[in-house]
A and B are shown apart, each in its own frame.
Chain A
Amino acid sequence: MDPKSWIRAKARISPYEAIFWIAAAVIPFVFFENYLSLAASVAVTALFCISLDMILGYAGIISLGHAAFFGIGAYTAGILSARGWGEPISGLLLAAAVTAAVGYIVSFMIVRVQHLALLMITLGLSFLLAELAISFDQFTGGSDGLQGIDTWKLLGIWKFSLWGHTAYAYALATLFVLFLLARRIVHSPFGLTLEAIRENPVRTTALGAPNHAHLRKIFTIAAAFAGVAGALLAQISETVSPEALGFQRSAEIAVMLILGGTGRLYGAILGAIIFMIARDQISGFYLQYWYFWIGLILILVVLFLPRGILGGLERLARLGRRA
């Protein structure tokens, strides 16, 4: 098989994928109408998770502060709306543009460092931004959170209500469009080069690939994705607080991504679905001690399912085929 048709075969949409997306569009509306707010929040988180997967799963950049971009997107869309322009889609586009710009600048620092320094710089940047968000309270509402966000009707037709119909449709549609884009990126020659850089940066340099330029590009794209996710949340919940930039959010999506499996996009989505639903169900009655179970699950996943649930399933399937 020549390389071009190999890439094309890899990128072909399988029937399972079609079933998944149709199910995602139909099942919540028909069977779980009371859960649409949760479903919308899952879709937003899945998008954020995909963003982390692009840099972590595909390019191998470990970030403990990815929520920085989520937060910038959330504040961008939120401030735009609070200042009188509540049209949702243009809010998303502006958030994407702003976070991409910030991501591009930050990417120059990111590609220079590794290991602990990388963890600390990503962590430090998100703390720094959270401090800024608290300090500039005339723009951000400070630690009480931004007030006065009013999201206009979607396309001038559908109102965002507490039932969450519009919110879920909007979040899912955005997730779907950006998922297709992400899928196209990671299955392109560029995406394959990223995986090669992740596995062996010395060899890709020897082969003539501009490692740093590639990493900067994907970091910028991922930042924009995270920004759109943040903007979605700000528009749907009509609130943003400095916690949008916080460490907890960065840590949680890393947990979800690992749970689902890195480097396969669907792992990000699956991880978000499982984590969010589990938390919703557990925190209803466990409340205080659910951190224990999260900790335990993390430890077990790292020890026994290092490639996540999807990775584990893949291995099972392969074993099954061989048997």
Chain B
Amino acid sequence: MKKTVTALLTAAATLLCGAAFAQETVKIGVINAYSGQFADPGAQLDAGITLYMQQHGDTVAGKKIEIIRKDVGGIAPDVAKRLAEELIVRDKVDILAGALLTPNALAMGDVSAEAEKFMVVMNATTPVIITKSPYMIRTSATASQINGNFGTWIANQGVKQVYTMVTDYGPGIGSGTAFEEAFKAAGGEIVGQDRTPVVNPDFSPFVQRVAEADPEALYVWVPGGTQPPALAKALAERGITPENTKIYGQGELTDDAALEALGETALGIITAYHYNVHRDDAMNDEFVEAYRAANDGRDPDIYSIGAYDGMAAIYKALEATGGDASGEALINAAKGMTWDSPRGPIGIDAETGDVVQTIWIREVQMVDGKPANVIIDQVENAK
């Protein structure tokens, strides 16, 4: 009898504490690809979230931060939408985050708007996403932010004609279009356009088309992962190098794997990016070191930094609201915010909620006997 009473009391106490505890918790629902074709960028994104919380604790403005992770398994907007609904209805999350892939981000945006919950896009770069919900900010980059500014920059270098080759899906087409418009507006001419399939890393026929056209310059956009080194190899194997054709692209093109595959043939490729892992900067060095320590020596990439800054935005916004996690309070606090990130100065546009940051222009040069991305110019406060 006594035992039962004690047990009941304990249970009641736990329930009460639990209830009291719940009030002090801010729940963040992360919808991300943890399995399937996009599991790798998904893992990098998740590591960015984890690292930020490791470094900054799990309490902000007196509230405990709780992350609830959901696997969307790839491009699946219907699943992303249902998971977002369930996170809000079932898990009572205050904030939606993640959004690795554009179609999923668009679907999550609908839910954020309907439920009036703050949402942080940590990766997807298609410009239109941000218009889906008035409670949304983005901490990655937009396709036009990088490539539009890059197009203008290239035209200003005196380049007249460019052949473009982009991946045939949303982010690729968006980046290519932004690039072409900016480049043409600055007086350049597009002499050829090709679209490469999303899943077929055999670039040889497309590279042959470029070789045949023999343009002054080539602009490429391919998603990170297996494609940059594959494309880089295809170019080098067919003798297209910066010596005879200027090569431009978004930063993925010369990531470390691609540089390794390319060796010296990469020298002279110029890329634009919002995050440069090897940028010499105290804050970045510390971030990269901590990231490597936590992830078996692996370097952070754009997915990691997008998530890391996404968490920073959430923490800073919560501090500003004193722990009020309502969508209205958080979006008002987040808009116009600026802070220093390992990637450089970063901010949230006060009108759109989109990210404002420095775009780095890098050229592949020999550093200590190895090809590396060296910053040669920068576009500040790029929108």
Contacts and interface: CB of A to CB of B under 8 A. Distances in A.
> Do chains A and B stick together as partners?
yes
A239 B104 CA distance: 10
Contact of A37 (B35, B39, B89, B169): B89
B293 interface: no
User: Main SS of chain B's interface residues?
Assistant: helix
Contacts of A244: 78
A283 interface: yes
Contacts of A30: none
Given A142-B170, A287-B71, A290-B35, A237 B89 contact: no
B89 A34 contact: yes
Interface residues of B, number: 34
Contacts of B126: 144
A3 interface: no
Interface in B28-69: 34-35, 39, 43, 68-69
Contact of A134 (B81, B102, B169): B169
Interface in B124-156: 126
User: Main SS of chain A's interface residues?
Assistant: helix
Contacts of B69: 284, 287
Contacts of A166: none
A241 B76 contact: yes
A164 B89 contact: yes
B371 interface: no
Contacts of A38: 82, 86
A144 B103 contact: yes
Contact of B35 (A234, A239, A291): A291
Contacts of B95: none
Contacts of B114: 161-162
A37 B103 contact: no
B70 A283 contact: yes
B170 A162 contact: no
A290 B198 CA distance: 25
Interface string B149-192: 00000000000000000001110000000000000000000000
Contacts of B85: 37, 162-164
A29 to B, nearest CB: 14
Nearest to B32: A287
B115 interface: yes
A240 B74 CA distance: 14
B77 A241 contact: yes
A234 B43 CA distance: 29
Nearest to A146: B77
A233 interface: yes
B82 A237 contact: yes
Contact of B82 (A37, A284, A287): A37
A78 to B, nearest CB: 11
Interface string B338-359: 0000000000000000000000
Contacts of A163: 85, 89
Given A162-B88, A288-B34, A237 B107 contact: yes
B103 A145 contact: yes
Interface string A28-44: 00000011111001000
A191 to B, nearest CB: 32
A237 B81 contact: yes
Contacts of B71: 283, 287-288, 290
B89 A162 contact: yes
A142 B103 CA distance: 10
Contacts of A37: 82, 85-86, 89
Q: Which of A164, A237, A240 neighbours the largest number of chain B CB atoms within 10 Å of its CB?
A: A237
Given A37-B86, A143-B198, A144-B102, A239 B77 contact: yes
A146 B196 CA distance: 21
B81 A239 contact: yes
Given A162-B85, A239-B77, A239-B78, A288 B111 contact: no
A243 B75 CA distance: 7
Contact of B103 (A164, A233, A239): A239
Interface string A219-243: 0000000000000011001111111
Contact of B70 (A161, A162, A284, A290): A284
B3 interface: no
B2 interface: no
B11 to A, nearest CB: 21
A59 B64 CA distance: 57
25 contacts: A34-B90, A37-B85, A41-B78, A143-B103, A143-B168, A143-B169, A144-B103, A144-B169, A145-B75, A145-B106, A162-B85, A162-B114, A162-B115, A237-B82, A237-B107, A239-B103, A239-B106, A239-B107, A241-B76, A283-B35, A283-B71, A284-B68, A284-B70, A287-B69, A290-B35
Given A36-B89, A143-B170, A161-B114, 12 more contacts: A35-B90, A143-B75, A143-B198, A145-B77, A162-B89, A162-B114, A233-B78, A239-B106, A283-B34, A283-B73, A284-B70, A288-B71
Pick the 5 closest A-B CB pairs, nearest first: A287-B34, A237-B78, A34-B90, A143-B169, A144-B170
Interface of A: 34-38, 41, 134, 142-145, 147, 161-164, 233-234, 237-244, 248, 283-284, 287-291
